[in-house]
């Protein structure tokens, strides 16, 4: 399961049908008191940014999407039942958000009142037209300030179908996508041919994200800037008081300005190389993501950055059991710092990464948005991050729920944002190798800097794979090969 731009998905054409979610009860007939359910810190900030940007007639938009394949003729009734069961199971998906008394509240609708209506969209003769339609559909239909907060549909063919769901970030995170695939596919396979909603397979418990949000607010809403749990953040900020670590690449951005984005992806290591890379990292006393982070640090240093790496890293808050099968925004973001100075070999940098990561994880409890509001209130009021920020994300998709069926289901993940003022990179490990997806500002300087960085990183991780370490500095030059070629997901699976 890999993340890449939707435009790179060489999806087979076909007939598109969508399912529209509705609520059959009386107007405003949600369950419980809407004032009694509050948004999480992540959701509150996301909703507020959407409100402010809409008020300034400069809307901020983004979405997270997932696709997966169904083999054989599609049973549309069974898929509709599977989708409805999925939405009913996860409370956050049936919530409408609104501002009440200064706070963002969640109004959950009664699952029994939800309805799903099929809506034929049309026939698409080419992959290009189909993917273009879906991209525009997601941009137009997903709105943080309007319910429902996601789109569900399928591309239907005689002997196969591609199912797609696209969400506003307010209801989910990247780790929710494998959960979506597993639940809908499992329910569909159980229902297929029976038409009996009661025949759906049993799934593990999935506590509501709203309960997680409630507990988080109970624990951290009352803290202030003097709370000792913020000492790790304060130490990271140092005497200059910068909450956000700067990305040491020239992106050519002007302060306070947002830009259209470039969204591109590439493979850094194939499956065999990724296996060797992981073994090399383990032999050095670390893990694969630590080796990738060490390589990123060395490449940024060679680009003119400092010897001490300073960045932000998202970390899942699901835990091993409690929220492992729940859909929601279970992400905290924390600063990490470690030594990647010139002259240090791979083992030494890995040891620094391991120590930095251990220190970071010891301070996981304080939510990022809460720390941001307390320690950088000026930047918090501005909404967006103030300048290009150093950001690193890694997910091993082979360890996600349902990964044992990914060869059959062929799931893919896609992210999109309308505008940015910096760069974000996500790394994924799957059965096919190690991959990178980056979104960054569309400026000439950023295209050059990010292209050179991606090429240097590819050469660096390959060098670690071949030789077991950083044998030579990698100069950042223009990339030797383009990124962004279309991916035939179904075809790749057939060729295995």
Last residue of a domain, one of 196, 215, 234: 215
The fraction of the chain above a pLDDT of 90, given in percent, is 84
Answer yes or no: do 261 and 160 share one domain.
Answer: no
CATH number at residue 417: 3.30.559.30
Q: Does 83 reside within a domain?
A: yes
307 in a domain, yes or no? Answer: yes
Say whether both 209 and 230 belong to one domain.
no
Residue 270 and residue 413 share a domain: yes
Phi, psi of 103 (to 5 degrees): -110, 155
Final residue belonging to a domain, choices 162, 181, 215: 215
Question: In terms of domains, do 256 and 385 share one?
Answer: yes
The CATH number assigned to the domain holding 109 equals 3.30.559.10
Q: Is 304 left (phi over 0), alpha (psi -120 to 50) or beta?
A: left
Q: Is the C-alpha dihedral spanning 303, 306, 307, 313 positive or negative?
A: negative
- Do 193 and 291 belong to one domain? no
454-468 confidence digits (pLDDT tens): 999 999 999 999 999
Average pLDDT, the chain: 91
The confidence score (pLDDT) of residue 24 equals 85
What pLDDT, on the 0 to 100 scale, is given for residue 322? 86
Quick: pLDDT tens for 14-52: 999 999 999 986 444 444 444 568 999 999 999 999 998
- Residues 196, 123, single domain; the answer is yes
Print the domain residue range for 62: 2-215
Give the 3-state DSSP-derived string for the chain, with helices as H, strands as E and coil as C.
CEECCHHHECCCCEEEEEEEEEECCCCCCECCCHHHCECCHHHHHHHHHHHHHHHCCCCCCEEEEEEEEEECCCCHHHHHHHHHHHHHHCHHHHEEEEEECCEEEEEEECHHHEEEEEEEEEEECCHHHHHHHHHHHHHHHCCCCCCCCEEEEEEECCCEEEEEEEECHHHCCCCHHHHHHHHHHHHHHHHCCCCCHHHCCCCCCCCCHHHHHHHHHHHHCCCCCCCHHHHHHHHHHCCCCCCCCECCCCCCCCCCCCECEEEEEEEEEEHHHHHHHHHHHHHCCCCHHHHHHHHHHHHHHHCCCCCEEEEEEEEECCCCCCCCCCCCCCEEEEEEEEECCCCCCHHHHHHHHHHHHHHHHCCCCCCHHHHHHHHCHHHHHHCCCCCCECEEEEEEHHHCCCHHHHHHHCCEEEEEECCECCEEEEEEEECCEEEEEEEEECCHHHHHHHHHHHHHHHHHHHHHHHHCCCCCCCCCCCCCCCCCCCECHHHHHHHC
Q: Do 337 and 357 belong together in one domain?
A: yes
126 inside domain: yes
Q: In what order do the strands lie in the sheet with 160-167?
A: 2-3, 412-417, 62-71, 160-167, 150-156, 14-23, 114-124
Residues 209 and 248 in one domain: no
119 and 239 in a single domain? The answer is: no
Q: For position 495, what pLDDT does the model report?
A: 46
Q: Are 490 and 69 in contact (CB under 8 A)?
A: yes
| Domain boundary pick from 156, 190, 215 | 215
Residue 377 inside a domain? The answer is yes
pLDDT attached to residue 61: 83
Q: What is the reported pLDDT for 134?
A: 98
Q: What is the pLDDT of residues 302-337, one digit of tens each?
A: 999 999 999 999 999 998 778 999 999 999 999 999
The answer to whether residue 220 sits within a structural domain is: no
Is 43 a domain residue?
A: yes
**Domain match, 119 and 263 both:** no
Residue 413 forms part of a structural domain: yes
* Whether residues 56 and 170 fall in one domain: yes
101-132 pLDDT, tens per residue? 888 999 899 999 999 999 999 999 999 999 99
253 and 301 share one domain: yes
- Structure confidence at residue 278 (pLDDT): 98
Would residue 315 count as lying in a domain? yes
- What's the total number of domains in the chain? 2
């Amino acid at each position: 399961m890999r993340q890449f731009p939707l435009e790179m998905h060489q999806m087979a054409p076909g007939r598109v049908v969508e399912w529209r979610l509705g609520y059959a009860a009386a107007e405003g007939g949600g369950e419980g008191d809407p004032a009694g359910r509050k948004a999480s810190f992540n959701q509150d900030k996301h909703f507020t940014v959407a409100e402010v940007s809409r008020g300034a007639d400069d809307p901020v938009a983004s979405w997270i999407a997932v696709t997966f394949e169904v083999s054989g003729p599609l049973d549309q009734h069974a898929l509709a039942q599977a989708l409805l069961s999925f939405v009913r199971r996860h409370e956050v998906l049936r919530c409408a958000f609104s501002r009440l008394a200064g706070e963002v509240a969640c109004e959950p609708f009664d699952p029994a009142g939800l309805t799903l209506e099929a809506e034929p969209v049309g026939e698409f003769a080419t992959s290009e037209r189909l993917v273009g339609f879906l991209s525009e559909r997601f941009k137009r239909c997903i709105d943080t300030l309007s319910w429902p907060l996601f789109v569900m549909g399928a591309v239907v063919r005689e002997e196969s179908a591609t199912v797609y769901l696209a969400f506003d970030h307010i209801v989910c995170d990247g780790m929710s996508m494998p959960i979506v695939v597993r639940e809908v596919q499992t329910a569909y396979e159980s229902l297929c041919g029976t038409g009996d909603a009661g025949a759906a397979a049993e799934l593990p418990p999935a506590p509501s994200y709203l309960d997680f949000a409630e507990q988080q607010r109970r624990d951290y809403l009352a803290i202030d800037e003097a709370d000792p749990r913020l000492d790790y953040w304060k130490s990271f900020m140092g005497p200059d008081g910068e909450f956000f670590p700067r990305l040491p690449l020239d992106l050519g951005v002007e302060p306070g300005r947002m830009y259209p984005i470039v969204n591109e992806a590439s493979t850094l290591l194939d499956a065999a190389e990724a296996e060797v890379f992981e073994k090399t990292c383990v032999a050095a006393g670390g893990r694969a993501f630590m080796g990738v982070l060490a390589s990123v640090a060395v490449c940024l240093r060679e680009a003119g950055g400092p010897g001490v790496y300073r960045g932000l890293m998202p970390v899942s808050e699901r835990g091993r059991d409690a929220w492992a099968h729940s859909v929601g925004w279970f992400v905290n973001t924390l600063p990490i710092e470690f030594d990647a100075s010139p002259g240090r070999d791979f083992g030494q940098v890995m040891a620094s990464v391991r120590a930095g990561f251990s220190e970071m994880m010891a301070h996981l409890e304080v939510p990022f948005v809460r720390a941001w509001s307390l320690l950088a209130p000026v930047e918090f009021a501005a909404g967006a991050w103030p300048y290009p920020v150093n950001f690193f994300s890694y997910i091993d998709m082979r360890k996600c729920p349902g990964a044992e069926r990914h060869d059959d289901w062929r799931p893919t993940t896609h992210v999109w944002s309308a505008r940015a003022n910096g760069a974000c990179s996500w790394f994924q490990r799957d059965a096919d190798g190690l991959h990178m997806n980056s979104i960054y500002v569309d400026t000439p300087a950023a295209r050059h800097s990010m292209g050179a960085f991606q090429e240097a990183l590819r050469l660096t991780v390959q060098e670690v794979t071949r030789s077991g370490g950083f044998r030579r500095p990698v100069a950042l030059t223009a990339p030797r090969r383009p990124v962004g070629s279309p991916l035939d997901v179904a075809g790749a699976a057939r060729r295995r």
